Chains A and B, each alone.
Chain A
Amino acid sequence: MDDFTLFSIGSGTMTATATLSKDRIEPRYSAWERLKSNRDWLGFWFMMPAAAILLLFLAYPLTKGVWMSLTDVKIGRPGVFVGLENYEELIFFDKTFLYSTGFTIIYTAIASAAKFVLGLYLALLLNNNLPFKSLIRSIVLIPFIVPTVLSAIAFWWIFDSQFSIISWALRKWGVIDHNINFLGDPILAQATVIFCNIWRGIPFIAITLLAGLQTVSPSLYEAATLDGATKWQIFRHITYPLLTPIIAVVMTFSVLFTFTDFQLIWAMTRGGPVNATHLMATYSYQKGILGGQLGEGAAIATAMVPFLLAAIMVSWFGLQQRKWQQGSKE
Chain B
Amino acid sequence: MSADMTKTATDDNSDGMSYLETTRTKLVTIWLPLALICFVLLFPFYWMALTAIKPDHQLLDFETYNPLWTWEPTFKHIQKLLFESNYPRWLWNTMYVAFAATFLSLICSVLAAYAIVRLRFRGAEVAGGLIFLAYLVPPSILFIPLSTVIVAYGLFDSPLALILTYPTILIPFCTWLLMGYFKTIPFELEECALIDGATRWQILTRIILPLAVPGLISASIFALTLCWNEFIYALTFISSVPNKTVPVAVVNEFVDGDIFRWGSLMAGALVGSLPLVILYSFFVEYYVSAMTGAVKE
Contact = CB atoms under 8 A, between A and B. Distances in A.
Interface of A: 1, 4-10, 36-37, 39-40, 42-44, 46-51, 53-54, 56-62, 64-65, 68, 73, 118, 121-122, 125-126, 128-130, 134, 136-143, 145-151, 153-155, 157-158, 160, 162-163, 165, 168, 199, 202-204, 207-208, 211-212, 214-219, 221-222, 225, 242, 245-246, 249-250, 252-253, 256-257, 259-263, 266-267, 280-281, 284-285, 288-289, 294, 297-298, 301-302, 304-305, 308, 312, 328, 330
Given A129-B15, A217-B8, A218-B9, A154 B266 contact: yes
B30 A130 contact: yes
A54 B168 contact: yes
A329 B275 CA distance: 44
B43 to A, nearest CB: 8
B292 A61 contact: no
Nearest to B142: A61
Interface string B5-23: 1101100101111101000
Chain A contact residues: over half helix, strand or loop, or mixed?
Answer: helix
B185 interface: no
B219 to A, nearest CB: 13
Contacts, number: 341
A294 B236 CA distance: 12
B214 to A, nearest CB: 16
B202 A289 contact: no
B119 A218 contact: no
A146 B277 contact: yes
B99 interface: no
Given A57-B149, A130-B30, A301-B141, A39 B121 contact: yes
A285 B51 contact: no
B196 A4 contact: yes
Identify which of B123, B236, B251 gathers the most chain A CB atoms within 10 Å of its CB.
B251
Contact of A150 (B107, B172, B247, B297): B247
A295 B232 CA distance: 18
A215 B115 CA distance: 30
A49 B106 CA distance: 11
Interface string B215-226: 000000000010
Contact of A43 (B124, B149, B165, B175): B124
Contacts of B16: 129, 218, 221-222
Contacts of B67: 165, 168
Contacts of B2: 212, 215
B122 interface: yes
B144 A215 contact: no
B277 A121 contact: no
Contact of B288 (A8, A211, A212, A266): A211
B79 interface: no
Interface string B196-220: 1111111001100000000000000
A53 B34 CA distance: 43
A4 B202 contact: yes
A46 B114 contact: yes
Contact of A158 (B14, B34, B47, B251): B47
Interface of B: 1-2, 5-6, 8-9, 12, 14-18, 20, 26, 30, 33-34, 37-38, 40-45, 47-48, 51, 59-60, 62, 67-68, 104, 107-109, 111-112, 114-116, 119-124, 127, 131, 134, 136-149, 164-165, 167-168, 171-172, 175, 193, 196-202, 205-206, 225, 228-229, 231-232, 235-236, 246-248, 250-251, 262, 265-266, 268-269, 272-273, 276-277, 280-281, 284, 287-288, 291-292, 295-297
B121 A43 contact: yes
Given A44-B121, A218-B16, A289-B147, A246 B47 contact: no
Given A64-B149, A65-B144, 7 more contacts: A129-B15, A138-B284, A148-B229, A149-B229, A246-B296, A249-B297, A263-B229
A221 B19 CA distance: 12
Contacts of B281: 138
Contact of B201 (A1, A141, A148, A218): A1
A330 B277 CA distance: 37
Contacts of B269: 150-151, 153-154
Contacts of A256: 136, 138
B38 to A, nearest CB: 6
A302 B1 contact: no
In the A-B complex, the 7 residue pairs with the smallest Cβ-Cβ separation, listed nearest first, are: A43-B121, A218-B16, A46-B115, A281-B140, A211-B292, A65-B145, A260-B138
Given A129-B15, A143-B41, A262 B171 contact: no
Nearest to B119: A43
Q: By CB atoms of chain B within 10 A, which of A8, A50, A121, A137 has the most?
A: A50
Contact of B144 (A37, A44, A136, A298): A298
Contacts of A218: 9, 12, 14-17
Nearest to A153: B269
11 contacts: A7-B197, A40-B121, A140-B37, A140-B38, A142-B45, A145-B273, A145-B280, A168-B67, A219-B12, A298-B145, A308-B141
Contacts of A9: 197
A136 B168 contact: no
Given A50-B131, A145-B277, A153-B269, A165 B165 contact: no
B93 to A, nearest CB: 14
A118 B33 CA distance: 11
Given A42-B121, A154-B44, A216-B5, A294 B144 contact: yes
